[in-house]
Amino acid sequence: MQMKDPEEHQVKSKPLQKCTERRRKSKKRRNQIKTEKSHETGVESKSSLMFPCRPGYGQLGTKCLIKANHFLVDISVSDLSHYNVKIIPEVCSSKTRKAVISELVRVHKNTDLANRLPVYDGGRNLYTAGLLPFTYKEFSVILSEEDYVTGGTREQEFKVGIKFATSVRMQQLRELLSGKQVDTPQEALSVFDIVLKEVAAQSYISIGRNFYSPDLRKPQQLGGGIESWRGFYQSIRPTQMGLSLNIDMSSMAFIEPLPVIDFVAQILGKDVHSKPLSDADRVKIKKALRGVKVEVTHRGNFRRKYRISGLTSQPTRELIFPLDEQMNMKSVVDYFQEMYGYTIKYSHLPCLQVGSQRKLNYLPMEACKIVRGQRQTKGLNEKQITSLLKFSCQRPREQETDILQTIEQNNYENNPYAKEFGISIDKKLASVEARVLPSPWLKYHDSGREKEHLPQVGQWNMLNKKVINGSNVRYWACINFSRSVQESTAHGFCQQLVQMCQITGLEFSQEPVIPVYSARPDQVKKALKYVHTTALDKLDGKELELLIAILPDNNGSLYGDLKRICETDLGLISQCCLAKYVFKINRQYLANVALKINVKMGGRNTVLLDALSWRIPLVSDIPTIIFGADVTHAESGDDSGPSIAAVVASQDWPEVTKYAGLVCAQPHREELIQDLFKSWKDPQRGVVYGGMIRYFTRSSSKF
């Protein structure tokens, strides 16, 4: 959300009235066009948005020029054509559907397609720059694909019907970019997004809206046979500068293309060339390798590829299999020697199982190498996550260099798809006028030595200050999950934290309800319930208000488990502290933790001085709620996990400093918040309104 400057709300309402009138007419026209279009073509209409009129431009602050990760785009093509695609037999995989259309274009481009180079979205829609020489045509396509079960290739015939649906007019897009108030031509923008996605897919591995390559930057080893690749996100968007290509860098974990034996050695963290594997080792390797594609290396340049389905329970030297239908048996060692002249060196290791369940094939680990370009879909451990975050984190100058290198490497000007659709992209980062707004004065409690403060360069501390509203913590306890922290050390840390909270302005009881309780990290649920129940008994039914938890520095899933149990099972506010800060107590760290505790317990650290003086534009004029909303999606590789929508709302007008929050699960990768506001008919009460926004407006005592 962008806050308006004080001058901006002074702009007269006349331009806004004109905008409202134009919107009304445009909405009527849009609905009419949608109805006509759906009747004529049967194509599902795409929703469109309209840019709101900006009432004015602020003047406060120091003007400056900044660079944005946007590249201006010019479109020279006239109109686009939209075709419906039907593939028989139906294919569930988008990748396979794209392969079918790609093969169709390869075979028929110079003949039936009249040299047109279409783009396909992987579903029902195909687009061309201009018309094809037919309104409907059916093609026969024979697709050859690698079969990771048999290690060979398989051929399948498809019937593809291509039917003209409608023309995608460019006039509306040009009017939008020239500054006119029109609907956003969402379909035209989607076409160019598909074109640029096709451009990138030719050189990179496509995962969602991101594209990855080991050539963008040298892969970084994360440990355990996993490495991080650099990639980028791209999206074409209409802006006030014109049409723009947004590029942002990203990172993702991939499996290293190692010989399988080396990969196994990294997984186990030991040499596997001489000693047999234990049952625990074999289970760990089987879990890590299942589903991974490998290529054989014992047949020279003939590199068949397979997908691993399992691991043998016996070492290679003990494995035999039926050679023919007469059940003549042959050992794996003898077979590889006689068939390929290959002597198996590490026969103490198990074999990889590939193929179908009906007919399993055995491949020695030493004769296989992991195929490059497979993302790691299994969870990363704490060390790998830390390494990935370190690799991903960049200073602005480094990120600028990577983005410019990506644009250069993409070579848009020479790409056949970009040429076909008349797309040219500037190679310079877009320059944007910006203003550094003056810092606001902050108000603290009058009992502190420093009652007001002006932050410098966005930074300030709590020295000589007290929070404006300190919370009251009467009943608290501490659990120590770190074996390296003694109970006396944990108690001493808690006492210093309590002292800092009191100095900061909180009312905080000196001693915990029960002594510091030490527990093992793998028994977090049991420990939390014990502390909660014990405190409840000691307080004669009163609830524990705060739990301080000391965690090991590398705690894996402990933090997430603790937060989930406290917030969903026990209804308990918690504050976690790492063991390294317990050993080396720092006053600045303690002050930061005190501020977090105060807010969690319902206090307020500071408010804007302008809010107390009723000088915040718009907000101070009438009772106002400020909302914030965002959606967090499941991590890459999770194809089914729900997205989590979060909404916060201010509760203390006119200061608008204290916020309450709500979270809600919704369908996977759904960006629009589904329960933001909703209504339904009740047989008794009539139309009922609800949703996350409605919850805040009902529960706030101010409104």
pLDDT in tens, 380-418: 887 888 889 888 888 999 999 999 999 999 999 999 999
- The C-alpha atoms of residue 291 and residue 640 are separated, in whole angstroms, by 18
**How many helices (DSSP H) and strands (DSSP E) are in the chain?**
17, 35
Give all domains of the chain, ordered by start, each with its CATH number.
74-251 (no CATH), 260-371 (2.170.260.10), 442-609 (3.40.50.2300), 618-701 (no CATH)
Residue 90 Cα distances to 123, 159, 160, 540, angstroms: 11, 10, 10, 66
Kindly write down the DSSP assignment for every residue of 105-147, as one continuous string.
Answer: HHHHTTTTTTT---EE-SSSEEEESS--S-SEEEEEEEEEEE-
- The confidence score (pLDDT) of residue 635 equals 67
pLDDT at residue 1 greater than cutoff 60: no
Give tens-digit pLDDT for 255-264: 999 999 999 9
**What element of type H or E holds 102?**
helix 94-108
pLDDT at residue 645 greater than cutoff 60: yes
Beta-strand ranges (E) seen in 437-515 are 442-443, 452-453, 472-473, 476-480, 507-508
What is the average pLDDT score of the chain? 86
Q: Which residues share a beta bridge with 331?
A: 320
Mean pLDDT of 545-553: 94
The mean-pLDDT minimum among 176-185, 205-214, 646-655 falls in: 176-185
Give tens-digit pLDDT for 57-98: 888 899 999 999 999 999 988 889 999 999 999 988 888 999
Give tens-digit pLDDT for 463-503: 889 999 999 999 999 999 999 999 999 999 999 999 999 99
Give tens-digit pLDDT for 583-606: 988 999 999 999 999 999 999 999
pLDDT at residue 421 greater than cutoff 60: yes
- The confidence score (pLDDT) of residue 173 equals 81
Contact 256, 370 (CB under 8 A): yes
* Sequence-separated (6 or more) residues with CB below 8 Å from residue 324: none
- The confidence score (pLDDT) of residue 49 equals 55
**What element of type H or E holds 409?**
helix 396-410
- The confidence score (pLDDT) of residue 694 equals 82
Q: Which of 181, 192, 98 is nearest to 145 (CA)?
A: 98
- The C-alpha atoms of residue 172 and residue 181 are separated, in whole angstroms, by 10
pLDDT at residue 19 greater than cutoff 70: no
HSE-up (13 A, CA, CB side) for residue 210: 16
Give tens-digit pLDDT for 102-141: 999 999 999 999 999 999 999 999 999 999 999 999 999 9
* Sequence-separated (6 or more) residues with CB below 8 Å from residue 38: 44, 45
Give, in degrees to the nearest 5, the angle at Cα 435 between 431 and 436: 125
* Sequence-separated (6 or more) residues with CB below 8 Å from residue 528: 479, 547, 562, 565, 566, 569, 570, 572
Q: Which two tokens stand for residue 578?
A: 């790492």
- The C-alpha atoms of residue 655 and residue 583 are separated, in whole angstroms, by 38
- The C-alpha atoms of residue 381 and residue 402 are separated, in whole angstroms, by 27
pLDDT at residue 149 greater than cutoff 70: yes
- The confidence score (pLDDT) of residue 699 equals 59
H helices of 119-220, in order, are 171-177, 186-201
Categorize the per-residue pLDDT at 649 as very low, low, confident or very high, splitting at 50, 70 and 90. Answer: very high
pLDDT at residue 29 greater than cutoff 80: no
**What element of type H or E holds 339?**
helix 332-340
pLDDT at residue 539 greater than cutoff 60: yes
